[in-house]
Amino acid sequence: MGINHYENFPVASVLLPKRLRRPIELIYAFARNADDFADEGDDPPEQRLDKLGGFEQQLDVIERDGIPQEVLFVELKQIIRQYSLPIGLFRDLLSAFSQDVTKTRYASFPEVMDYCRRSANPVGRLLLHLYDSVSETNLEYSDKICSSLQLINFLQDVGPDYRRDRIYLPLDEMQEFGISEKQIADEDPAGHWASFMNFQIGRAQSMLESGAPLGRVLPGRIGLELRTIVCGGARILEKLHAIEGDVFNRRPVLRSFDWAVMLYRSVFRYR
């Protein structure tokens, strides 16, 4: 699904209160394992969907207050009950991963955003439940951040996604900028590629910035964690802009210096 196992989401970082680290690890493990069913290995589509269906059945067991068969779901049941986590958000994630198996192209940006709504936004919403910070405004902020992070990963991973026979870039916008699928296959950043990518970068940046106030709303270390994540997304966008979107030859990654920059900005820019 192009998001590298939720690399831009918090994974029980030391910035978080210790009591929240294990619940976040469990949410991450659920998402990562289900993502692997859709993406990793050589299983045929039918077998991938069967594995995802097995996760769906375990959620059904939890919903019926039964005893799950796998250790992951035994622990998930505990935190779902303890923090009143909506099971529907876990089902949304499975829906997105199943779509990865069956859908390889997106006709328009609304289609991409519908995917983000199920592949990324549930993670942020689950975290707000853990933080006991659910409100209409906070959910809107969170959705903006999560969707933008998903879009950023799509921009980073144009090449790897295509090698899985997937294009998450809107086909109508590709056509508008004169970008062909062959150009992606050839890893060719010529023509209007830079303009096309700058358009995508600008939109993702606006979305990220519109959700950034959540980092000031959430208290203490939780807010610091989120501000660091926002700064990480912004840093990747800066790098994408600097290389004019040529992710085929210079895929941007976060290095030690970038993490120092992100932490500085999270403390002094977004507080």
pLDDT recorded at residue 87: 97
- For residue 13, what pLDDT is reported? 64
The pLDDT value given to residue 261: 73
Q: pLDDT value at position 83?
A: 97
pLDDT of residue 121 exceeding 80? yes
> Given a cut of 50, is residue 4 above it in pLDDT?
no
What is the pLDDT at residue 14? 63
Q: Is the dihedral of CA 197, 96, 234, 216 positive or negative?
A: positive
- Tokens, residue 43: 């299983």
- Cα separation, 146 vs 141, in Å, equals 9
Q: What is the mean pLDDT of residues 110-114?
A: 98
User: Looking at residues 64-78, what average pLDDT do you find?
Assistant: 95
The whole-number average pLDDT for the span 173-179 is 98
Environment class of residue 4 by beta-carbon count within 10 Å: exposed (0-12), middle (13-18) or buried (19+)?
Answer: middle
**Quick check: 56 pLDDT over 80?**
yes
Is the confidence at residue 172, as pLDDT, over 90?
Answer: yes
CA distances in angstroms from 254 to 11, 60, 104, 177, listed in the order given: 16, 39, 28, 29
In this prediction, residue 269 has a pLDDT band, given cuts at 50, 70 and 90, of low
> Is pLDDT above 60 for 194?
yes
What share of the chain has pLDDT > 90, as a percent?
Answer: 76
With CA atoms as reference, report the closest residue to 68 among 84, 49, 48, 87: 87
Residue 102: both structure tokens together: 């069956």
CB under 8 Å to 164, separation ≥6 — which residues? Answer: 39
On average, the pLDDT of the chain sits at 91
User: What does the alpha-carbon distance between residue 79 and residue 85 come to, in Å, rounded to a whole number?
Assistant: 7
pLDDT tens for residues 209-261?
Answer: 999 999 999 988 899 889 889 989 999 999 999 999 999 998 888 777 766 77
88 has pLDDT over 70: yes
132 CB-near residues (< 8 Å, 6+ apart): 83
Q: State the angle between helix axes of 121-130 and 136-156 in degrees (0 to 180), rounded to the nearest 10.
A: 140
Give the pLDDT confidence of 8-40 residue by residue, as tens digits. 444 546 667 888 999 999 999 999 999 999 988
Evaluate whether 208 touches 151 at the Cβ level (below 8 Å): no
Residue 192 has pLDDT above 80, yes or no: yes
Question: In the predicted model, what is the mean pLDDT of residues 58-62?
Answer: 97
